Chain A
Amino acid sequence: MDQESVHQLTAAYALDALDSHDEREYEEHLRVCDSCRSELVSFRGTAATLAYAVAAPAPPPALRERILAQAREERSTVVPMRRRWVVPGLGAAAAVAAAAAIGLGIWAASLHSDLSGSRKALSQQQTIARVLADPSSQASAISGAGGTLVVAPNRQGVLAIRGIRPAPSGKTYEAWVIRGKTPPKRAGTFARSGEQLLTRPVPKGSLVAVTVEKAGGVNAPTQTPHITAKA
């Protein structure tokens, strides 16, 4: 197959509309073609949106419990503290293989090529997950927005905020850690809802606050915070 027609397969691949032979060929091409990879990420997003065009009855309530029960069962066979699952049974192994093939299509392949660029962000995501998953972490409610402040025993803090408007252009949200009467300390900037890893430890009893500041952040808050949480 010539190069041009392989590129054109990106749309069909994103729609899962290639037969297995073309699919393998395309995946080989994907390993070496940056432009197809980024086109595929974008097409996959568009294709997945098509799922919402189909309204449907709610799934049977028992389905949720069945999924969670099987997940629980598989976890009990997993070697503790390892991130790679050991999966029992042939059917399960086949499902893993199918999922792995898709992973190869976008996620694993792109991880391979973009590793240097995304390493920092990746480790930040992992740090956030560690704080959120730590059973000894403390959670407290946020006032002024939906969300939770989660602080790990080592005082690393994650601010999980939902449903705030994206910062207007030229502006940013800036987080502050405020302890007693001392001046607020900068704890990172962000643009939208999501989890923010605070760049400063959050001592017990301190206040975490968020203000809207000019892009890039400022050294001291210029307004009264409307979002706060007590650690």
Chain B
Amino acid sequence: MAALAVFSTFDSREESLRRDLAHFSDEALVALVERGDEAALGELYDRFGRPAYGLALRVLRDEKLAEDAVQEAFLGIWRTAARFVPERARAATWILTLVHRRAVDLVRREEHRRAEPLEVVPEPVGGSTEESAWLRLEGERVRAALRQLPDQQRETIELAYYGGFTQSELADRLGQPLGTIKSRMFAGLTRLRELLSEGETEWTKSPSTN
């Protein structure tokens, strides 16, 4: 029986603490972060830091900026955890939304970067062997769903989400009326939601349920 005095601020205790935190859900960790528990923030980073960095790197295509986006997002978690309502959304969604938002804010300040041509289909980078099995499987599941979207819907969603383009910018870039872009985005995200929920089981919902 170990005392939970581990929830202190001392680094020397962090190791024993993390073993205990590994048993908690993402949502419980956010609740602990709300109470100023720094080790809980560390555990959330261990669970989401990698997909967060991958996403930010994809949007920003610059390692330094990607690190900035991830850092600002996690400090956003630290400062605003009290706003998270677990009955309304999964913690994973909240965290990745914060990361995406920071990345998009940053890329919109880097106009020259976005003028570069963007390859549309996301490709895995680096050694997948060192990724956790869950991340690899989830990645395959989402890429498979994306491949099933009609080309124009997929292109619109990928340019918006990974490229950080607004719907008006996409209308210009693709030479389409704004209404067409809106429809593709709406239809595409609706279809993607269907495709993803078809393949979803309790086991694929979050790394923390593994």
Chain A residues near B (Cβ < 8 Å): 5, 8-12, 14-19, 22, 41-60, 63-64, 66-68, 70-72, 74-75, 78, 83-85, 87, 92, 95-96, 98-100, 102-103, 106-108, 110-111, 114, 118, 121-122, 125-126, 128-130, 132-140, 146-148, 150, 160-163, 165-166, 192-195
Contact = CB atoms under 8 A, between A and B. Distances in A.
Select the residue from A16, A42, A83, A106 with max chain B CB neighbours within 10 A.
A16
Interface of B is mostly: helix
Contacts of B202: 165-166, 192
B93 A45 contact: yes
A56 B50 contact: yes
Contacts of B66: 59
A135 B4 contact: yes
A160 B28 contact: yes
Contacts of B85: 107, 110-111, 118, 122
Interface residues of B, number: 108
Nearest to A72: B38
Contacts, number: 305
Given A11-B190, A18-B167, A138-B1, A95 B72 contact: yes
B93 A44 contact: yes
Contact of A15 (B22, B54, B157): B157
The 6 closest A-B pairs by CB, nearest first: A56-B54, A55-B124, A129-B31, A59-B53, A99-B76, A48-B96
Contact of A16 (B25, B80, B104, B135): B104
Contacts of A136: 3-5
Contacts of A19: 166, 168
B88 A59 contact: no
The residue among A9, A49, A64, A130 with the most chain B CB atoms within 10 A of its own CB is A49
Contacts of A17: 160-161, 165-167, 170, 185
Given A51-B99, A98-B105, A139-B1, A129 B71 contact: no
Nearest to B67: A63
Nearest to B160: A17
A162 B208 contact: yes
B193 A43 contact: yes
A160 B25 contact: yes
14 contacts: A15-B160, A15-B185, A17-B161, A45-B90, A49-B142, A54-B55, A56-B125, A67-B70, A71-B75, A108-B83, A110-B85, A130-B35, A148-B20, A193-B209
Contact of B53 (A43, A56, A135): A56
A148 B16 CA distance: 13
Interface in B17-65: 20, 22-25, 27-28, 31-32, 34-38, 41-42, 45-46, 49-55, 57-58, 63
